[in-house]
Amino acid sequence: MMNMMVPSSSSTFHSSTIAEAPLKLAVLGAGFAGLSVVWNLLQHTSKHSRICIDIYDEVGIGGGASGISGGLLHPYSPKAKLLWKGAECWKESLNLLNIAERANVSKDPSVELETQNLVWRRGILRPVTNTKNSDILKENSQDFLESCRLISIDKYGAQKLVPGICAPLDSAIYMPQAVNVHPPRYLQALFKACKTLVNDLAALGYDTKEINLLQKSVNSLLELAGEYNAVIVCLGAKADIVQELSGKIPLRTCRGVVAHLQLPRGILGKEYGNHSPSILSDAWLAIQGPRNLVLGSTWDWDSRNYSPHVSASETSKAVDELIPKASAVYPSVVKWDFTGARAGVRSMPPLTPNGSIPLLGCVDDIVFHDSGNNLNHRHSSTTKYWLFGGLGARGLLYHGWLGKLMAQAVLSRDESLLPSELTSWRKSRH
C-alpha cells in the first residue's frame, strides 16, 4: 500500500456540519485547478466525514489547457521579481508534485522510466536578451527564496549548462531548483493519488469518501441546484460558456499553440544534455529528454477556439513564429524535427496592483443576478456556487496553494477565508 497521509479528525478543515451529514460536491473541470481542489477536499476533511465528489469534464483528466501547458515551474516573473504569494504557491506546488510522483510509481518492470517521468529537476535557464531587463535581472537576482534561488551567470557559465546556448547580452539567470513538469502525466498521477487516498481509507474501515469522474459538460449551473451542497467551477476559459457566468466574469482568453520537436535519429552527438536545464525566453523550451522537447507558446488573444487540434495553417504560422525566437537563444533547435502541435485556451485574469492574479470566490450573486423566476429558487436551494479561475499562464504555480484555500472556503462555507486580493474582482463588478 502506498504511503499516503491519511486525514485526521484534528484537520483544520473539519467542521461539525460535515460530520453530521453526507457532503456532496461537484467540481467542474479536471485540470490544475479542479484536481488541486479535489485533492484538498479529500485530504483536509476528517476520516469520519462522509463526502462524495463528482468531477465533471467532457474530455477527461488534463484534456484542456492545463494538459498542453509548458510545465515550467518557478515562482518568478520575467523581471526576476517574486510573484504574488510566490513562496506559498511554490511550496504547495512542490508538495502536490511529490504526492503525484509517489502515486505514479509503477512496479511493472516493462514500463520504461522515461515514460513515467512527471518532473525533470534540472533547473531553468533564462538568457538575458535585451538591455531593458539586463540591469533589473542583475539587481534582483539576490531576491530569491532559499528553496528556489536565482543565480546570475555570464555566457560562459550558461554554455557550460547548455552547450551551444546563445546569451545575446553575455549574461543569464539560472534557477537551479526550478523544475519542468509533464502536465498530462502529472494530472493523471494526481487523480490517481485522489483515488488511492479514498481506497486507503476504505481499507482502514473508513468507507466515507467517494470520487467519480463524469465525462460530460455542464452548460447551466442551475441544473445542479439541490443535488449538491456546493459546485466549484474550475473550467478555465470555458467558464464563460456556462450560461449563468457568460459575460459576467472579467477574464480574457488567449489561445496558445505549442510545438513538439524531436531530434532526428541520424544526428548523433547533439542530444540535449541529461542535466541541462530547460530554457525560458521569448519562446520557452521545455526539455523532456535528450531528443524530445516542447516549444511554446503563441498568444492569440480573445480566441474562442477551444479545440486542442491545430489546423495546418495554424501550425505553420505557429512554427514560423516560435522557431526564430527559440533559435535566437538555442540555435541548434533548427535541426530538430517538428512532430506535432497542440493548443489550449488560457483564462487570463485582469491586471491589478498585485499583477495578474486568479479570481476566486462565491458566485451565488452572479448565478442568481437578474434571474427573475429564479428568485425563489435561490432562497430554497442549499447549493452554493464557487469560482476558481483565471490561472492564466501561471496555473502550475498557483494551483496548489489556491486549491487548498478554495477547499477551506468551500468546506467552511466562508468566503472570508480567501485573501481579499482574490475576491476583489466581485466588488469591481458593482
* Confidence tier at 141 by pLDDT (50, 70, 90): low
Distance (Å) of CA 27 to CA 17, 38, 204: 20, 7, 26
Q: Which of 61, 58, 47 is nearest to 11 (CA)?
A: 47
Q: What is the pLDDT of residue 79?
A: 74
* H or E element in which residue 211 lies: strand 209-214
* Confidence tier at 142 by pLDDT (50, 70, 90): low
- The percentage of residues in the chain with a pLDDT greater than 70, rounded to a whole number, is 86
Q: What is the pLDDT of residue 242?
A: 95
Q: Which of 232, 213, 241, 326 is nearest to 279 (CA)?
A: 326
The answer to whether 74 and 124 are in contact (CB under 8 A) is yes
Q: Which grid cell sits at 6?
A: 491519511
What angle is formed at CA 426 by the lines to CA 420 and CA 430, rounded to 5 degrees?
130
What angle is formed at CA 219 by the lines to CA 214 and CA 221, rounded to 5 degrees?
90
Report the distance separating Cα 50 and Cα 16, nearest Å.
12
Report the distance separating Cα 173 and Cα 154, nearest Å.
9
Rounded to two decimals, what is the model's pTM? 0.90
Give the pLDDT mean for 63-85: 89
Long-range contacts of 3-7 (CB under 8 A, 24+ apart): 3/102, 4/99, 4/102, 4/103, 4/193, 4/196, 4/197, 4/200, 5/43, 6/47, 6/197, 6/200, 6/201, 6/204, 7/42, 7/43, 7/44, 7/45, 7/46, 7/47, 7/201
Residue 38 has, within 13 A of its CA and on its CB side, a CA count of 34
Helix crossing, 183-203 with 32-43: angle to 10°?
20
Report the distance separating Cα 65 and Cα 311, nearest Å.
17
Give the pLDDT mean for 326-332: 96
* Confidence tier at 377 by pLDDT (50, 70, 90): low
Q: What is the pLDDT of residue 102?
A: 94
* Sheet order of strands, 359-362 included: 209-214, 51-56, 23-28, 230-233, 384-389, 359-362
Q: Which residue has the cell 434571474?
A: 371
pLDDT digits (tens, 9 = 90+) for 91-124: 999 999 999 999 998 655 554 555 578 999 999 9
Q: What is the pLDDT of residue 10?
A: 37
Q: What is the pLDDT of residue 53?
A: 98
pLDDT digits (tens, 9 = 90+) for 268-299: 778 999 999 999 999 999 999 999 999 999 99
Q: Which residue has the cell 498521477?
A: 189
The mean-pLDDT minimum among 25-29, 111-115, 324-328, 378-382 falls in 111-115
Q: What is the pLDDT of residue 369?
A: 73
- Asked whether the predicted pLDDT for residue 19 surpasses 90, the reply is no
Give the pLDDT mean for 27-47: 96
